[in-house]
Amino acid sequence: MKMQELPPTELTVMKAIWDAGKPVHLSEIHVMLERYGKDWQYQTVSTYIRSLVRRGFLIMEQVKGTRGKVYLYTPAISQEEYLEYTMGKMARFWGKHSLKPILCALRENEELTEEDIQELQGYLHDCNNR
């Protein structure tokens, strides 16, 4: 699969599935999306899922259910892999001197606490030792 950026609607579906932490079926996904403030029609969710399967973000597995065929959906990539891809894409776009503005934007201009700074230093140390 060639990694690509997801539209916000499909990313919301993926976030719900990642958060589930287990294979889920369409009706479960439909209910979970309500937690994200999405009151989408069942058919709309189904369309997003089909697109995610077609593009390789989800794995679809047919299982026997009490009412016949049921399809379970499992992420083909982890949330961390997707985040690494999107953040890498952002860093390449803004250039190698962009870490400070990116971090500030992510923090929504809140001041960093001493604990935040120590945590970031740990992350930077880990990144340098890859």
Last residue of a domain, one of 33, 56, 75: 75
pLDDT tens, 19-68? 999 999 999 999 999 988 999 999 999 999 999 999 999 999 998 877 77
C-alpha 13/C-alpha 93 separation (Å) is: 26
Per-residue pLDDT, 18: 97
Which residue range is the domain that position 54 belongs to? 8-75
* pLDDT for 11 beyond 70: yes
C-alpha 94/C-alpha 26 separation (Å) is: 38
Structure tokens at 44: 């709309």
Last residue of a domain, one of 75, 91, 111: 75
Per-residue pLDDT, 104: 67
**Claim to verify: residue 14 and residue 69 sit in the same structural domain:** yes
* pLDDT for 7 beyond 80: yes
Last residue of a domain, one of 75, 91, 110: 75
pTM, rounded to two decimals: 0.74
Residue 87's pLDDT band (cuts 50, 70, 90): confident
**Claim to verify: residue 66 and residue 112 sit in the same structural domain:** no
| 25 against 90, higher pLDDT | 25
| Any domain includes 3 | no
